[in-house]
Amino acid sequence: MQFQMPFDESSGAQPAPLPLTEAVGILTGRIWEGRIMPTAAVVDGLRRDLPLPRRASDHLLSLLGVRGFDSAEDLDPFFFPSLAHLHDPLLLDEIDLAARRLLAAAATGERVAMHGDFDVDGLTGTALLAELLGDITVDGSRMRSEPPFVPDRVIDGYGVSARMIRAWGENGVTLLVTVDTGAAAHDELALAAELGMEVIVLDHHLFGERPTGATVLVNPHRAGNRYPNPELCGVAVAFKLAQAVVSEAPAALSAAWPNKVLDLCALGLIADQMALTGENRTLVQCGLKILSDRTTLRPGLAALLQVSGLERGLPISATDVAYQIAPRLNACGRVGRVETALRLLLTDDPAEAAELAAEADRSNELRKQMDLQMKEDAASVARPFVDRGDPGLVLGSPAWHKGVIGISASRLVEMFNVPTILCAIEGGEARGSARSIPGVDVKVALDRCAGLLVRYGGHAQAAGVTLRVEDLDDFRAAFIKALVDTPAGAVVTETYDLLLPLGDMVAGDVAQLCEEVQLMAPFGEGHRAPLFRCDGLRMKRLPTTLGKGGEHLRFAFAGSSDPRTGGSPALGREFVAFGSGRAWNEWVRAQTDGPRAALDVGWDVLFQINPNTWRPRDGRAVDPVQQLLVDLKPSES
């Protein structure tokens, strides 16, 4: 049996919680707190205004209420997103100038170059630009575009490539457009200006002073920017430029043109771990619909689905993108040929797509092997800090990829038993993943370092941070001081959405709720999958192990009473707890009676319910629901 790994460990703004108990969970080391339940009036209003074709359960209405939905204006774009719900692109500073400059280039047949980046956001942004620049037409004229360029990690390094700027200068290029890079490329853009190029920068990374060579700079992180959504990634900024072109010159690009590149937006937003709320949620939802339509899917992405094991006729989810599609595209830029990934996104030839997807898959297997080496490298870098007695680790490297630093941080926690933050450095920005040890709340420590962080969020045992590279050493010192000053055992909360009485429910009830929960998808950064609590359970037997070394566990519980008649009891379905083996074994070792103590107490549990997308080769029926155990603790009653 295969199981889906859970996606999304984000935090995001939480409503004021209601504490129920001070005991911490065994698996997370967190205090549990429930969200404030909506009033009956709010639930009744949601029932009346819910724009769904079927009657919703009280569970779904309560979920919406605790997540802050209380009006029809909020519900319609949440359940039925469309481009009409997006913000006016012209609110982005200078995007009108960028659109007009592209229109002028098309009108005169100007020679234009485009420069992206080698991660998924940069690759999708480059692919979108290539299609956009190729399609803009003014009075029958189009710009002359150079082949789209993404840098080679080894040859060019991170950022804008000076060698390509010189080559484009020799080839008569007079306009350069960068995407997902360029905001901090002072020397390279100055070189472009010297060679007679104007430069449009489409970026979302943090930067200091504006490069003097940037003719136009579009970045949602610009100081004083009016745009309501600062969480755009590079490809999303390029998408907003396409919208701006339509707005500025409807005859130059069809009004429907932006729809066809929403798949690229979804890939970039999910892979770059942007908040899946508001406008980003709309872009991702619309993009996932395109990715799920096999009749119109890009040949390259269809081939990627095939090699990723996702060609099973089910809708593509944010989890599929994050764990299957994005890693294969990223692997091309990390250990393979980056042009393979770009060609995959742009090719119209299914045969070529199949060859490129196979190459991307091989690169991904190589990446996995190299990731093992990264863990060893990180351990080597960590050793001097551990030897001098530091109570925590903050390490960073340009060689580390943000997609795997969380895994490596967990490995260092296991090796050295100290909270660990590993940062992937790109340009002037460091993006880190934090992992902690039981009894040490990394979120509390980060709260004490907030002045050095651009943004951060997370929980007691796992968090994410973004900061400027020049602040990395100061942040390390502040983090270590925070660990020293933080009282032992201080924790923050694990916030759950609803109490769910599984003991009074049948399996069909949970299956219906699982379907309703999926109406709230996609889940990711800033919009976590709903978390439920159930109290007063007992273990039917000791948990069984899954995976290598028993790192995953399977639990079976029973309630204190039989459920109502009419179907199989909901508690007949087992729970899977990923990555919980170490924490569970520590609890067991602390018990006088050993593992048998687990059978002598009642249990309260936190869990998620997800669709089970595993399909056996023999075609036999499988349970449509997967219950993921997030935490548990002995009942206090």
Q: Would you place residue 201 in the very low, low, confident or very high pLDDT band (cuts 50, 70, 90)?
A: very high
Domain that holds residue 449: 389-492
Is 60 exceeded by the pLDDT of residue 14? no
Q: Where are the alpha helices (DSSP H) in 136-232?
A: 162-170, 186-194
145 CB contacts (<8 Å, ≥6 apart)? 111, 112, 113, 114, 130, 133, 134
Query: What H or E segment, with its residue span, contains residue 344?
Result: helix 338-346
The tally of CA atoms less than 13 A away on the side-chain side of residue 30 is: 25
What b/e readout covers 474-487, taking b as 16+ CB neighbours within 10 angstroms? Answer: ebbebbbebbeebe
Backbone angles phi, psi at 498, to 5 degrees: -140, 150
Query: Is 332 inside a domain boundary?
Result: no
Check residue 13 and give its pLDDT: 32
Q: How many CB atoms lie within 10 A of CB 9?
A: 17
Check if the beta carbon of residue 504 is closer than 8 Å to that of residue 65. no
In a domain, 406, yes or no: yes
Residues 21/46, Cβ–Cβ less than 8 Å: no
What's the number of domains the chain is made of? 3
- Alpha-carbon distance 494 to 24, whole Å? 9
Sign of CA dihedral 332, 338, 340, 345: positive
Instruction: Tell me the CATH number at 532.
Output: 2.40.50
The stretch 117-137 carries a mean pLDDT of 96
Is 352 a member of any domain? Answer: no
Domain check: are 400 and 486 in the same one? Answer: yes
32 and 105 housed in the same domain: no
On the question of pLDDT at 107 being above 90, the answer is: yes
Do 543 and 424 belong to one domain? no
Query: What are the structure tokens assigned to 442, written together?
Result: 């990394």
Residue pair 635/28 in contact by the 8 Å Cβ criterion: no
State residue 454's pLDDT score. Answer: 85
**CB of 291 closer than 8 Å to CB of 345:** no
C-alpha to C-alpha distances, 339 to 119, 351, 452, nearest whole angstrom: 11, 17, 37
Give 335's contacts (C-beta < 8 A, 6+ positions apart): 363, 366, 367, 370
- Residue 260 covered by a domain: yes
Give the domain-ending residue among 436, 462, 492. 492
- Say yes or no to pLDDT of 529 above 90: yes
Is 289 within the bounds of a domain? no
Sequence-distant (6+) residues with CB within 8 A of 156 are: 163, 164
The angle, 0 to 180 degrees and rounded to 10, between the axes of the packed helices 338-346 and 350-387 is 140
Task: Give pLDDT, residue 56.
Answer: 87
The pLDDT, as a whole number, for residue 617 is: 60
- Is pLDDT of 312 > 50? yes
Helix 299-307 and helix 338-346: axis angle, to 10°?
120
- E strands within 381-513? 393-397, 420-426, 429-435, 455-458, 462-468, 493-496, 498-499
**Is 163 found in the same domain as 193?**
yes
Same domain, 266 and 135: yes
Specify the CATH number for the domain of residue 106: 3.90.1640.30
Average pLDDT over residues 196-222: 94
* Token digits of residue 233: 């990634």
Q: How confident is the model at residue 620 (pLDDT cuts 50, 70, 90)?
A: low
pLDDT of residue 29 exceeding 70, the answer is yes
pLDDT value at 18 more than 70: no
Q: State pLDDT tens for residues 67-90.
A: 988 877 888 889 888 888 999 999
Mean pLDDT over residues 247-271, rounded? 95
Integer-rounded Cα radius of gyration of the chain = 25
pLDDT band with cut points at 50, 70 and 90 for residue 583:
confident
Is residue 207 located within the same domain as residue 238?
A: yes
pLDDT of residue 74: 83
Band of pLDDT at residue 49, cut at 50, 70 and 90: confident
What is the identity of the amino acid at 456? Y
Provide the pLDDT for residue 567: 62
Residue 41 lies in a domain: no
pLDDT greater than 80 at residue 10: no
Burial class (CB in 10 A: 0-12, 13-18, 19+), 276: buried
Q: What is the pLDDT of residue 9?
A: 32
- Domain assignment present for residue 132? The answer is yes
Q: Last residue of some domain: 248, 273, 298? A: 273
Write out pLDDT tens, residues 336-384: 899 999 999 999 999 999 999 999 999 999 888 877 778 888 999 999 9
- In-domain check, residue 294: no
This prediction has a pTM of 0.82
Task: Pick the more confident residue, 390 or 16.
Answer: 390
In terms of domains, do 484 and 604 share one?
no
Which residues neighbour 465 within 8 Å (Cβ) at sequence distance 6 or greater?
421, 423, 430, 431, 432, 433, 434, 446, 453, 455, 456
C-alpha to C-alpha distance for 421 and 462, rounded to whole angstroms: 10
Report whether 492 contacts 454 (CB < 8 A).
no
Confidence at 511, pLDDT banded by 50, 70, 90: very high
Say which CATH number the domain at 467 has.
Answer: 3.10.310.30
- Which tens digit of pLDDT belongs to each residue from 278-305? 999 999 999 999 999 988 899 999 999 9
pLDDT, position 21? 41
pLDDT at 616: 58
Buried b (16+ CB within 10 A) or exposed e, 519-539: ebbbbbbbbbbbbbbbbbbbb
Same domain for 22 and 149?
no
Residues 619 and 539 in one domain: yes
> Is 478 a residue whose pLDDT tops 60?
yes
Same domain, 128 and 228: yes
Boundary of a domain, candidates 469, 492, 515: 492
Angle at 628 between CA 524 and CA 316, to 5 degrees: 45
Q: Which range scores top for mean pLDDT: 188-202, 219-233, 454-468? A: 188-202
Going along 353-401, which residue ranges are E strands? 393-397
pLDDT score recorded for residue 11: 32
Question: 610, 514 in Cβ contact below 8 A?
Answer: yes
Whether residue 466 has pLDDT greater than 80: yes
Please state at what angle helix 350-387 crosses helix 405-416, rounded to 10 degrees. Answer: 30
Residues 427 and 524 in one domain: no
Could you give the angle at which helices 72-79 and 40-49 cross, rounded to 10 degrees?
A: 50
Domain match, 115 and 234 both: yes
Structure tokens at 344: 């995959």
